[in-house]
């Protein structure tokens, strides 16, 4: 069974948690030398530890409340914490669907394999369910794909996928690949619905994941009368309405939250169904507003 069939069969999760990186410790700029020193000591001794514990507990809680898909990238640098959270959760490894991605830095430095093995080691895993590249770095991503295929052949990766690919990137991969991508991840939310690209991925039998699925709680959605009306109609929050819209579009939303209450709210979307008219109304919010970067026009070195 390929991944697309598995999604329809319910064998891969319909929603994922993307905890992202650890976050930021207190910044030093524009402070006196003494304050900077104090902050540095605080970050090293206390601040970082607090952030780490909070992160591990948040991922562990998410798993214990039912999330099974963890979306991670080596670019986030928190693999060890993910590994500790998985262990702490007590959920058997085979019940989880864990993704990692090749960072742009590893692509530039031709260290795809080395970085992957480090991530695997840090997470304490023997394999990942899905390996993607983070961005199709110009001039490099086809070589990256070939390296990823070797990792699959070595049994360290179950499925291969891409992130941030337009149609033309995929066509290039199809031209050289031994194994076709099975999953593609890109920015999708009601302000940027990406219908043609989703359609293309589906025609190619590639499962679609949405990143930034609630548009980072963008004010333009928070204030939208349509979503306020749907909140009342379905007795759900507008975030739940949006996540449900993704699921009914056949897309897997990867939502970031380290908050217990938000994680719970975001997972509670499987007991209602948006009707066709409301699905269309949400589609109609689209204003092609991209919040992240366009892979055809961005500086890969800062991503
Ligand atoms: N491949 C790529 O290039 C790429 C790029 C971006 C993102 N991603 C993936 O996608 C994941 C999510 O994307 P994202 O972080 O950009 O955007 P997002 O999930 O749309 O938004 C995350 C923000 O929404 C808040 N939030 C979550 N649930 C909420 C709720 N129920 N009510 C109110 N606020 C809520 C979170 O805060 P709290 O923590 O307070 O809940 C956080 O500030 C990432 O973590 C990553 O795994 C991939």
String of DSSP letters for 90-116: T--GGG-EEEEEE-HHHHHTT-HHHHH
Question: Rounded to the nearest whole angstrom, what is the distance from the C-alpha of residue 278 to the centroid of ligand 1?
Answer: 24
Residue 244 Cα distances to 59, 85, 150, 294, 298, angstroms: 22, 27, 36, 26, 31
- Ligand 1 cavity residues, CB under 6 Å: 18, 20, 71, 134, 163-164, 185, 211-217, 239, 254-259, 262, 265-266, 292
Determine the pLDDT at residue 28: 55
Nearest CA among 186, 117, 109 for reference residue 148: 117
Cα dihedral 82, 88, 247, 197, rounded to 10, equals 10
In a 10 Å sphere around its CB, with 0-12 CB exposed, 13-18 middle and 19+ buried, how is residue 190 labelled?
buried
Atom of ligand 1 nearest to the CA of 135: 3
Atom of ligand 1 nearest to the CA of 303: 3
- Atom 31 in ligand 1: residue holding the nearest Cα: 262
Determine the pLDDT at residue 40: 81
Question: Rounded to the nearest whole angstrom, what is the distance from the C-alpha of residue 184 to the centroid of ligand 1?
Answer: 17
Determine the pLDDT at residue 303: 87
Question: pTM of the entire structure?
Answer: 0.94
CATH of 3-302, one of 3.40.50.300, 3.30.70.20, 3.20.20.100, 3.40.50.720: 3.20.20.100
Phi, psi at 81, each rounded to 5°: -70, -35
**Which residues are registered as beta bridge partners of 251?**
208
* Cα dihedral 14, 131, 120, 53 sign: negative
The answer to whether residue 67 is catalytic is: no
Q: What percent of the chain has pLDDT over 90?
A: 85
Taking the C-alpha atoms of residue 287 and residue 285, their distance in angstroms, rounded to an integer, is 6
Give the mutation target among 191, 257, 302 for probing the ligand 1 site: most ligand atoms within 8 A of CB.
257
Is 130 in contact with 158 (CB distance < 8 Å)? yes
Question: Rounded to the nearest whole angstrom, what is the distance from the C-alpha of residue 255 to the centroid of ligand 1?
Answer: 5
Taking the C-alpha atoms of residue 7 and residue 253, their distance in angstroms, rounded to an integer, is 13
Taking the C-alpha atoms of residue 70 and residue 255, their distance in angstroms, rounded to an integer, is 10
pLDDT below 70 — which residues of the chain? 1, 3, 6-11, 24-31
Is 187 in contact with 194 (CB distance < 8 Å)? yes
Give the mutation target among 165, 255, 302 for probing the ligand 1 site: most ligand atoms within 8 A of CB.
255
Instruction: Find how far residue 275's CA is from the centre of its chain.
Output: 27
pLDDT (tens digit, 9 = 90+) per residue, 80-133?
Answer: 999 999 999 999 999 999 999 999 999 999 999 999 999 999 999 999 999 999
Nearest CA among 217, 157, 151 for reference residue 183: 157
Name the catalytic one among 55, 67, 72, 76: 76
Is 133 in contact with 148 (CB distance < 8 Å)? yes
**Which residues are registered as beta bridge partners of 255?**
17
- Atom 23 in ligand 1: residue holding the nearest Cα: 216
């Amino acid at each position: 069974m390929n991944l697309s069939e598995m999604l329809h069969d319910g064998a891969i999760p319909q929603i994922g948690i993307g905890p992202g990186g650890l976050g930021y410790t207190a910044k030093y700029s524009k402070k006196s030398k003494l304050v900077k020193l104090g902050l540095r000591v605080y970050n090293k001794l206390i601040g970082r530890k607090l952030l780490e514990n909070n992160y591990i507990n948040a991922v562990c809680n998410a798993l214990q409340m039912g999330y099974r898909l963890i979306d991670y990238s080596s670019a986030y640098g928190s693999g060890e914490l993910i590994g500790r959270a998985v262990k702490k959760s007590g959920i058997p490894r085979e019940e989880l669907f864990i993704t990692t991605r090749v960072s742009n830095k590893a692509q530039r430095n031709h260290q795809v394999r080395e970085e992957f093995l480090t991530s695997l080691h840090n997470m304490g895993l023997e394999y990942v369910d899905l390996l993607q590249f983070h961005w199709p770095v110009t001039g490099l991503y086809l070589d990256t794909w070939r390296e990823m295929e070797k990792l699959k052949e070595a049994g360290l990766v179950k499925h291969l996928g891409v992130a941030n690919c337009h149609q033309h990137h995929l066509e290039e991969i199809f031209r050289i690949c031994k194994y076709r991508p099975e999953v593609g991840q890109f920015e999708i939310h009601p302000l940027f619905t990406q219908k043609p690209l989703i359609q293309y991925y589906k025609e190619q039998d590639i499962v679609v994941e949405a990143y930034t699925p609630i548009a980072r709680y963008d004010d333009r959605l928070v204030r939208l009368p349509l979503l306020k009306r749907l909140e009342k109609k379905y007795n759900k929050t507008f975030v739940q309405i949006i996540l449900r819209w993704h699921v009914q579009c056949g897309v897997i939303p990867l939502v970031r939250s380290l908050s217990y209450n938000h994680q719970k709210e975001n997972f509670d979307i499987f007991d209602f169904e948006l009707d066709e008219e409301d699905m269309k109304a949400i589609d109609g919010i689209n204003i092609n507003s991209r919040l992240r970067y366009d892979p055809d026009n961005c500086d890969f070195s800062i991503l």
